[in-house]
Amino acid sequence: MKQSQHHNPPREELELALGAQLNALISASHALNVKAAARFDSSLQPAAFHIIRWLYSYGPASAAAIAEATAMDRSSVSRLIKQLESMGYVRREASPDDGRAILLSLTELGHQQTLGALNEKGSVFYERIAGWNDYELHQFINMLKQFNGL
């Protein structure tokens, strides 16, 4: 009796398939970020929401730190922050560590608008994992952490 052999694709094909799936994830995430930005405030550029999202996740920071962390040009960050300030989403305050340094943070309005935008964005991804059991979700999280070097 001949035993059937299961052949796995070559490593190069697997890596290309992984790249295609990561590209799909990044593309879907980008599209959701654009939608979330419009939900946050349709008069703003998505890049402004990128700053908002960063402040929401990491808290008060200098404009230079935000520019570096988001890989955005400092002059663009400065311009967008001025716009966000004038709209009441971001405020400037003196650093508690160095009174000369200025930190940027979300206002209550900015925080609330961000929550609304992120809840809408998150619902799309939550729908995709709704049928997963806790073990599958745990495994996926651990694999992503490992992939991300965390």
CATH number at 30 reads 1.10.10.10
Q: Residue 8 falls within a domain, yes or no?
A: no
**For all residues of the chain together, what is the average pLDDT?**
91
Residue 84: predicted pLDDT: 98
Q: Is the pTM of this model over 0.75?
A: no
Q: Residue 117 falls within a domain, yes or no?
A: yes
Q: Residue 3 falls within a domain, yes or no?
A: no
pLDDT digits (tens, 9 = 90+) for 23-70: 999 998 889 889 999 999 999 999 999 999 999 999 999 999 999 999
Domain range for 57 is 13-147
What's the number of domains the chain is made of?
1
C-beta pairs of 143-149 under 8 Å, 24+ apart in sequence:
none
CA distance 114 to 49: 9
* pLDDT at 4 > cutoff 60: no
